[in-house]
Amino acid sequence: MIKLFSLKQQKEEEGAPRHNHHKRASAAHLRITKDLNELNLPKTCNIEFPDPDDLLNFKLIICPDEGFYRGGRFVFSFKVGPNYPHEPPKVKCETAVYHPNIDLEGNVCLNILREDWKPVLTVNSVVYGLQYLFLEPNPEDPLNKEAAEELQNARRVFEQHVQKAMRGGYVGSNYFERCLK
């Protein structure tokens, strides 16, 4: 019987170069690769990889072409953890936005990113969920209560505040960078 372990140890001691070309991809990496290959982005969305070798961290850019946020450019960072798809990706909005479902720290209130996540959901599901938040903000489940109350009770004022924030300026005591394309 050949003792593989002792052969390997002997080669290491002799200084033979070790080749690690066959690094096993994690389950999360395999699944995200599949998700990205099957991605069907709407024309208002684009994905960028700051590091092309790192598929687990990427940016989604949404540029709504209708609704309150039409003409804006909103960047979301995705961090896919080692337990994906059993845990949802961590998604943050990097663009300050006056929105009932996105707070000023960039946290996003989207049910499929929390309690309704299931391993059958994909990055595509999240992309469409985020896009839908811009088309139909949900004041019933807010992270930004002020924006939600305005949307429910003073729709015109809410729309003016969204426009002011997207042009760049203050809404109340909060400053928003310009995000119009």
- DSSP-derived letter for residue 51 is S
Euclidean distance between the first and the last CA atom of the chain, given in angstroms as a whole number: 68
Q: How far is CA 174 from the centre of its chain?
A: 23
| Residues comprising the chain, all counted | 181
Backbone angles phi, psi at 164, to 5 degrees: -60, -45
φ, ψ of residue 98 in degrees (nearest 5): -90, 100
- Which of 63, 93, 109, 179 is labelled catalytic? 109
Active site (annotated) includes residue 93: no
180 contacts 163 by C-beta, under 8 angstroms:
no
Q: Which residues contact 23 (CB under 8 A, 6 or more apart)?
A: none
Active-site residue numbers? 109
